[in-house]
Structure 1
Amino acid sequence: MGFSVASTHMLFFIGVIAISAGVIVSFNAFIDETRGAMTDKKTFITDQLRTQIEVINVRYSGGISYIYAKNIGDRLMNTNCLNVFVDGMYITDANLDILNASSGTPRTEWNLEETLEFQATHAISGGTHTAKVVTCNGISDEYSFST
């Protein structure tokens, strides 16, 4: 009787240790995934806080809206994922040119304190309109103008 009780207790103890090890491994994977997600979220929020733009002027002439926007944040931005909207309508890449406002050269990066000229080809009627520029991480600014 003494040996069978001791061996039963030993088997239960080994079983509890094995289950505990499995739980610890599972929680460790969960903690690693959570840590990675928190790091990604922190990076995204930091980028948003460092990004700031200002649409400073818009004029319309000959079927083209000339939208002038300045990077007033403290980070360099890529222009390949900027979005432009006029009266809520998305301007496709085929109808959009992004140029340095001073030199007129095409831009793929938006430097600090640089003003870009977005040339959006589209037709609008007379009246009051709104142009909006949205950055890669969702920061935006808009400007109302009349034609």
Structure 2
Amino acid sequence: MRDEHQDVRHSLFKAEKAETAVTHMIFFIAAIIIAMGVVTVLSADIQSMVASSSVSSKLLSDQMRTDITIVNDPYVIPYDSTGNYYTFYAKNTGKTELVPEFVTVMVDGVMIESANVDMDLPDGDVIWRPGDVLIINVITDPSPLNEGDHRILVAAENGKSGGMSFIT
């Protein structure tokens, strides 16, 4: 009888071990699935941050290499009374090539519409290369400007700008 009692206890003991192993396996599989989900979400976020950082660093690099200088005499700004426009000369003093089509001009804090701005490069090129001077003819409102202090700002497509105060 003792042997039968030991056999029953032994079989119960084996069943408890099996249940514990199955439970541990279920928890292990659940932990692996949760960990894979976390890794997937984090990797997508990290890839997004890396791409954003790359774009930011490219823009910052372009801004650091871009420089615009207005080279007019601030006391003598050419004004054409027949065409009602002022002529400004902006030099690309940076290291990047710029496209005049994407250059923005502001006078006294007011953006000049593209219809009122005419930009030409002396050699007829379409790219504003480093060292080149861009001729900017601007029709202002009012035209001519009232006598006194004024400010022109010429901004490249990457946000870098050059400005100058002038007197009319």
Supply the AA of the counterpart residue of 2:43.
N
Q: Deviation at 1:60? A: 2.8
Cα distance in structure 2, aligned partners of 1:128 and 1:19: 66
Structure 1 partner of 2:128: 110
**Any unmatched runs of 5+ in structure 2?**
1-15
Structure 2 counterparts to residues 79-94 of structure 1, below 5 A: 79-94=100-115
Equivalent residues in 2 for 1:23-62, closer than 5 Å:
23-57=38-72, 58-62=77-81
Q: Which has the higher strand share?
A: 1
Question: Residue type matched to 2:131 in 1?
Answer: E
Deviation for aligned residue 1:128: 2.1
Deviation at 1:138, TM superposition (A): 1.3
User: Aligned pairs, how many?
Assistant: 144
Report Cα offsets for 1:70-96 as digits up to 9, x if no partner. 001011011122110111111111011
- Identical residues among aligned pairs (%): 31
Q: Deviations over 1:30-83 (max 9, x none)?
A: 111111011001100000010011001143332211110000101101112211
Letter in 2 for 1:138: G
Alignment partner of 1:146 is 2:167: yes
In the alignment, the residues of structure 2 paired with residue 21 and residue 86 of structure 1 have an alpha-carbon distance, to the nearest angstrom, of 57
Q: Which runs of 5+ in 1 are unaligned?
A: none
Structure 1: distance between partners of 2:50 and 2:67: 28
- The RMSD of aligned alpha carbons is 1.3
TM-score, with normalisation over the residues of structure 1? 0.91
Aligned-partner SS, 1:97: strand
Aligned to 2:12: none
Which amino acid in the other structure matches residue 125 of structure 1?
Answer: N
Moved over 2 A (4+): 58-61
Q: Is the Cα–Cα contact under 8 Å of residues 59 and 145 in structure 1 kept in the other structure?
A: no
Q: Does 1:120 align with 2:138?
A: yes
- Counterpart secondary structure, 1:110: coil
Give the letter aligned to residue 116 of structure 1. Answer: L
Given that 1:70 and 1:113 are in contact with CA atoms closer than 8 Å, whether structure 2 keeps it comes out as yes
Given residue 100 of structure 2, which amino acid in structure 1 is its aligned partner? T
Amino acid at match of 1:117: I
Going from structure 1 to structure 2, the CA distance change for 1:131 and 1:60 (only over 3 Å counts) comes to farther
In proportion to residue count, which structure has more helix? 2
